[in-house]
Amino acid sequence: MLRSMTDITKRDTTAVPRGEALLHDPLLNKGTAFTADERTALGLTGLLPPHVHRLEEQVARVMDNHRNKQTDLERYIHLVSLQDRNETLFYRVVVDHIEEMMPIIYTPTVGQACQQWGHLFRRPRGLYVSWEDRGRVESVLRNWPQRDVRVIVVTDGERILGLGDQGVGGMGIPVGKLSLYTACAGIDPARTLPIMLDVGTENEGYLRDPLYLGLRQKRIRAEPYDAFVAEFVEAVQRVFPDALLQFEDFGNQNAFRLLERWREKVCTFNDDIQGTAAVTLSGIYSALRLTGKTLREQKLLFLGAGEAGIGIGELIVSAMVDEGATAEEARRCCSFVDSHGLVVKSRTGLAPHKLRFAHDLPGAPDLHAALEAIRPTAIVGVSTVPRAFDQRVIEAMSRMNDRPIVFALSNPTSKSECTAEEAYRWSSGRAIFASGSPFPPCRLGDRLFVSGQGNNSYIFPGVGLGVVACRARLVTDRMFSAAARTLASLVLPSDLELGRIYPSLTRIREVSAHIGAAVAEVAYRDGLAGVARPPDLLAMVKAAMWEPVYRKYA
């Protein structure tokens, strides 16, 4: 029988641990906020300093310590350690200071953490499922103490941000992503599960590092790899049948294939392909409010033809078709440059995912030549090639367009194709700019520019929230298109005046709720929802959002 939304968000409160065991349970611990009555009832008297602090006072203590740290990596360690002790306090801090915390708990700082995972390791979080567990993956999953898991993020660590193969250190990404699910969309942290599939690594530095935490072997490939992932996905369906499964930071050779294999069978999506596509499409919609043009009038040139680039292209094609274009017309509006130059039909050896965007055009050896051949209205950087959008590129875009659209989306900051300040300065303030990692506001003459961060956290938490709230059986491209349109609709005129084409992060929970309702609407319209439709979808979604406030024990 289908359970109500109240049941979905309710935790099992029948067996609360006592004494020191309670203080060591991060989901239940309140630290110095336990009241005198609670301390007496739960055997905590004497185990805590006598003064009882309010949650707000605890937040102030955390922020004082946080801001006294000398580096962002130290701040990351401080916050993760807090998360391991007291999840409610951790999320209260993140929600109340989201703009300050987002770059620490996720990009760009999480990239540093992944690179030093074996050296920073203190306490395990999530599940590590290794190649050596093949044949018994289901039993490994059953070791997880929480049964009612609703969102799983899994990686194999092969393509972490723009940093490449981080092996088992890639676990930092599922941990960080699920923190954003909770902070940005109110997914109950007790219902989330980060998973690392350790199938080896090609990173020689890690294989030689005595502190590396993963398998000391080269990556498993081809049929054995697919069989292992299949065992994992099928085990998830048996152990956590209500869970949304998000694939994250898999290498190109696996990501597209895995998505195509599983997307029509289980409730799953790939954030690098579909989430990035939706947040970029939303940015394009917002930019068009500044240019006064339509989507079908755009010519987009992508630098990078991997998961992110092709995923964006496919979603833009879908959106153009919805506006009346044919699929062939829409594909001609999207061109790609990879490490060998412009992707064209005459090139041999193109990967299957690139063939759909290989046009009948003369070749161009590099981005500069492709710019002159295509004369795009927008350039989208998903290449992880730092400073690829140099002064020549920005000036050429500004010569071709009154308001050139420049998206430098590669993460982390060190991989960005250009900075916000460079885009504005080289375009004389005319560029419409967005980036994957945050850049500080900059001033050009008497004008202040506050650039938008095209971060997937605007999309995937809300999509997950909508899927969980309505118990959707599948996650579809129509849901991501709806998410993109909804996000763009929430950009205020005051945001656009500053050059920001995404809402302020301070509104992220409001944004996620509206995206969740839009996703649920698609699920109900397409017959994919697993609970009866309520009168008010937005109210249903908001009711499913967990809030970081302490529960009462006595």
Residues recorded for the chain: 554
Give the number of other CB atoms < 10 A from CB of residue 1: 2
Please give the pLDDT value at position 438. 87
Give yes or no for a contact between 93 and 79, defined as CB atoms under 8 angstroms apart.
yes
């290449």: which residue's tokens? 383
Q: What is the pLDDT at residue 4?
A: 36
Residue 309's pLDDT is: 95
Closest-CA residue to 396 (of 386, 383, 381, 406): 406
3-state secondary structure of 379: strand
Catalytic option among 30, 76, 128, 177: 177
As a dihedral over the C-alpha atoms of residue 396, residue 398, residue 403, residue 404, rounded to 10 degrees, the angle is 30
Q: Give the C-alpha separation, 305 to 81, whole Å.
A: 38
Q: Which segments of 46-177 are extended strands (E)?
A: 127-130, 151-155
Q: Is 490 helix (H, G, I), strand (E, B) or coil?
A: coil
Question: For the purposes of burial, counting CB atoms within 10 Å of the CB of 308, is it exposed (0-12), middle (13-18) or buried (19 or more)?
Answer: buried
Q: Report which DSSP code applies to 359.
A: B
DSSP 210-262: TT--S-SSPPP-HHHHHHHHHHHHHHHHHHSTT-EEEE-S--HHHHHHHHHHH
Q: Can you give the pLDDT at residue 474? A: 98
The residue type of 194 is P
Q: How many CA atoms lie within 13 A of 243 on its CB side?
A: 27
Rounded to 10°, the helix 252-262/307-322 angle is: 40
pLDDT score, position 12 = 44
Count other C-beta atoms under 10 Å from residue 52's C-beta.
15
Residue 503 tokens, joined: 């809402």
Task: Identify the sign of the CA torsion 71, 72, 77, 78.
Answer: positive
Residue ranges for the chain with pLDDT beneath 70: 1-14
Tokens of 3: 């359970």
Contact (CB, 8 A) for 308 and 272: yes
Separation CA 495–CA 357 (nearest Å): 33
- Measured in whole angstroms, the distance separating CA 23 from the mean position of its chain's CA atoms is 31
DSSP track, 71-95: SHHHHHHHHHHHHHH-HHHHHHHHH
Burial class from Cβ neighbours inside 10 Å (0-12, 13-18, 19+) for residue 134 reads middle
Catalytic entry in 30, 76, 91, 106: 106
* 106 catalytic residue (yes or no): yes
Q: Check: CB of residue 519 under 8 Å from CB of residue 479.
A: yes
Distances (CA, A) of 343 to 185, 335, 380: 38, 7, 15
pLDDT, tens only, 9-65 = 344 444 799 999 999 999 999 999 999 999 999 999 999 999 999 999 999 999 999
Domains present along the chain, CATH in parentheses: 5-10+458-488+508-543 (no CATH), 107-266 (3.40.50.10380), 274-455 (3.40.50.720)
Whole-number Cα distances in Å, 323 to 36, 276, 524: 62, 21, 22
Map tokens 């306490």 to a residue.
Answer: 123
What's the CA gap between 247 and 255, in Å, rounded? 8
Q: Is 542 a catalytic residue?
A: no
Q: Are 417 and 383 in contact (CB under 8 A)?
A: yes
Residues 6+ apart with CB under 8 A from 51: 32
